[in-house]
Structures are given as C-alpha cells and as structure tokens.
Amino acid sequence: MGLLDKIKGEFIDIIEWLDSSNDTIIHRFERYNNEIKYGAKLVVRESQVAVFINEGQLADVFQPGTYSLETANIPIMATLKGWKYGFHSPFKAEVYFCNTKNFTDLKWGTKNPIMMRDAEFGVVRIRAFGNFAMKIKDAVKFIKEVAGTDGSFTTEKITEQLKTITISRFTDTVAESKIPVLDLASNYDELSKFVFTKIGPEFMEYGIELTKFLVENISLPPAVEEAMDKRTSMGVVGNLNTFTQYQTAMGIEEAAKNPGGVAGAGVGMGMGFAMANQMGQNMQNQQSTPPPLSQFFVAVNGQQTGPFSEQTLAQMVQSGQITKDTLLWKQGMAAWSSASQIPEVAKLFGQAPPPLPPQIPQK
C-alpha cells in the first residue's frame, strides 16, 4: 500500500450514533471543524433519523440504513454547494441524529389544585396526575421548532412544555364534562381518551406524536376525603343503637380486664348501669307497643268480606249482621267456623243487649 492510499484510508470516516441513554432525543455528531471526508460511511440505525445541516440550512434527511456520502446520496447538499460534477474534498456540515423511538412513562401532574363545581359537595379542589408516551414523528420540524442548535436535547427539556399543554387541556375537559367527583374514578379511561384526542394535534405542531395518555389518579382535598370516610363509616355501622350496645359491652369486658382497682371497677359499673338503662328503655318501648288486633273475614251471603277488627265485629254483632251461626275465619285457623265456636267472637254476643220486650197496647 502506497503513502497516498494510506492517507486516503485515514480520510474514510464512519458517522454513527450509539445511544447509551434513555432520554436523548437529539444528538449532534461532533467532529473537528465539522469536516466530513468524501466517501464517508453514514450508519443510521433503526429508530433513528439523520439530518444534515449546511451553513444553517436543513439539507438531506436519511432514514435507517448505511450510506456512502457521495454526490448521488446527498442531492440537496450538492445543490446547495453547487457541485455539478461531484466533489472529492472534505466538506463541512452538521449532522444531527434524531431518536424516533417511543419515549414512555413521562409524568404529568397538576402543580396547583383545579377548582370545579360539584353537584353534591359544591365547590371543590382536585389534583390529578398520570403519564404519557410520545415519539418524534417529523425530525425536521422538531429541530426547527424545538431543538434548534442544541447538540444534546433530552426529554426533560420538552416535557415541561408538553405538561403545560396537557394540564391546561385536562382542566378544561374535566370542567366541561361535569362528572360528579365521586364518579371521576369510574371515568379515567374516558377522560384519558378525550384528552388524548384533544392534545394530539397540538403535539404534532412540534413534530411530536402522542402515542398514549393516561390518567392515573384524581384526588380530593384531605378535608373532603375525611368527610367521605366518616360517611362511609356511618354506612358500615348501620343501626347506631345496636352499635352503641356493642361498644358498651366491649367496654365492660375491657374494664373487667383492667387492673385499675377501684377506678376500673367504677368505670365498669358505670358502663354496666348505662347498658342496663339502655336495654330497659328498649324493653319498655317494646312493651308499650300494643299487640296487633285480630283480623277476621266474615262470610256474608256466600261471599267473603273483611277483614274486620274485633271492634268492628262487635258493632256488627250488635246490629245483627253477625249471628252465632255466621261463619268467620282468621289467619292461623284451619277452616271456617261459626261465630259461637270462636271464643274471641263468642264473647261479643254476651255484650249484646237483649231484644226489646213486645209493646203492650194501652187501653
């Protein structure tokens, strides 16, 4: 190999980028004076796009593949430099590699509470957070609109702007939906899809494609959550009188185990008296409630009538509507029986006044 061949061999470069990070979107290929040798090899891997910039102007864009940098492979660059017959000398250009993979698990959340009006709780404040995923769809637009000449552009530098858009649109969506606060948890999926379709076009203005948007949690202020917990506890307790008796009984058991001497015994006796008093009141309330009166059905002209109370039966006996042979029945009886065979009804005939004596005509 001659000296000239050796020098030419040293001029052949390989331009590539091996990404060792998980958050780099744009990487500028660093070279001394940005000189690229004729015939250099450009390697663009999957999920990468290479963009050449010549003297501040966007030139050729290379998709995944291996290229030999000659006049035929860089037509825009050749046009900008006026290479009508090719070139064989080094040229200057900036090479930017754009990472087009899907960047996942990017966080978003409300910095300040969102004020909203709820039908049940009135004006409330809520907080929300979640995550989203994105990827670069248009590398040229992203470099022009966002990255500029930044030689190492990471997701951290763009997510703050994207979060601002996300939170603004999410706040507007929640306010317009008028979903009750207690029902927000059951509508995370619907809210996520709606916000996704709303902010997707705005991301595309930067050359970014929104691939996923998720609402993970919507929380209420501690005071509202405490009130909800109390309401839930009341629902679990159910009957407060029964719960009080249970608590009293448990207190007596604990007091009996407590070796507190006279004080412990006094507490136990006091709680015992309170429980006895409560049980006595419950028994008194039960005794003061009169038992239900018997209800009888009466057969009149072969038709079932009633039911009638004993008071009504007494009036019917006095008026003669019911005789001792009238058939009656009530719940618990095996069959219809005559009034004289039913003790509760038979006693009513003794209360009926005797028939009036016949009137004697006066002479």
pLDDT in tens, 191-226: 999 999 999 999 999 999 999 999 999 888 787 777
pLDDT for 118: 81
pLDDT for 1: 45
Residue 331: CB atoms within 10 A of its CB come to 9
Query: Is the domain of 131 the same as that of 216?
Result: yes
Give 68-104 as a DSSP string: E-SGGG-HHHHHHHT-SS---S-EE-EEEEEE-S-EE
Query: Is the domain of 92 the same as that of 141?
Result: no
DSSP conformational letter for 362: P
Query: Is the domain of 14 the same as that of 111?
Result: no
Please give the mean pLDDT across all residues of the chain: 77
Instruction: Note whether residue 150 is domain-resident.
Output: yes
Last residue of a domain, one of 55, 81, 99: 99
Element (H, E) at 133: strand 122-136
Instruction: Note whether residue 288 is domain-resident.
Output: no
Last residue of a domain, one of 99, 129, 163: 99
pLDDT for 150: 80
Query: Any idea which of 4-13, 27-36, 275-284, 288-297 has the lowest mean pLDDT?
Result: 4-13
Last residue of a domain, one of 46, 74, 99: 99
Three-class secondary structure of residue 38 per DSSP: coil
pLDDT in tens, 130-153: 999 999 999 999 988 888 878 788
pLDDT for 10: 45
Binned at pLDDT 50, 70 and 90, residue 260 comes out as low
Instruction: Note whether residue 168 is domain-resident.
Output: yes
pLDDT for 320: 82
pLDDT for 121: 76
CA-CA distance, 15 to 35, in Å (whole number)?
A: 11
The residue ranking higher by pLDDT, 225 or 178, is: 178
Instruction: Note whether residue 121 is domain-resident.
Output: yes
Contacts 24+ apart (CB under 8 A), 10-13: 11/37, 11/38, 11/39, 11/90, 12/37, 12/39, 12/40, 12/41, 13/37, 13/40, 13/41
Query: Is the domain of 95 the same as that of 107?
Result: no
pLDDT mean over 330-340:
84
Q: What is the CATH number of the domain that holds 305?
A: 3.30.1490
Query: Is the domain of 93 the same as that of 148?
Result: no
Q: Are 126 and 219 in contact (CB under 8 A)?
A: yes
Is 185's pLDDT higher than 90? Answer: no
What residue has token string 């494609």? 209
Query: Is the domain of 116 the same as that of 220?
Result: yes
Query: Is the domain of 160 the same as that of 218?
Result: yes
Query: Is the domain of 150 the same as that of 74?
Result: no
Residue 161 φ then ψ, to 5°: -65, -40
Is 300's pLDDT higher than 80? Answer: yes
Beta bridge partner(s), residue 154: 24
Binned at pLDDT 50, 70 and 90, residue 70 comes out as confident
Instruction: Note whether residue 356 is domain-resident.
Output: no
Q: What is the CATH number of the domain that holds 113?
A: 3.30.479.30
Nearest partner of 100 among 160, 159, 151, 140, judged by Cα: 140
Residues 6+ apart with CB under 8 A from 247: none
CA-CA distance, 74 to 86, in Å (whole number)?
A: 11
Residues 6+ apart with CB under 8 A from 223: none
pLDDT for 319: 81
Number of structural domains, the chain? 4
pLDDT in tens, 77-131: 666 665 555 555 567 778 899 999 999 989 999 888 888 888 777 888 888 999 9
The residue ranking higher by pLDDT, 309 or 109, is: 109
Instruction: Note whether residue 363 is domain-resident.
Output: no
Instruction: Note whether residue 71 is domain-resident.
Output: yes
Q: Give the domain range for residue 243.
A: 239-280
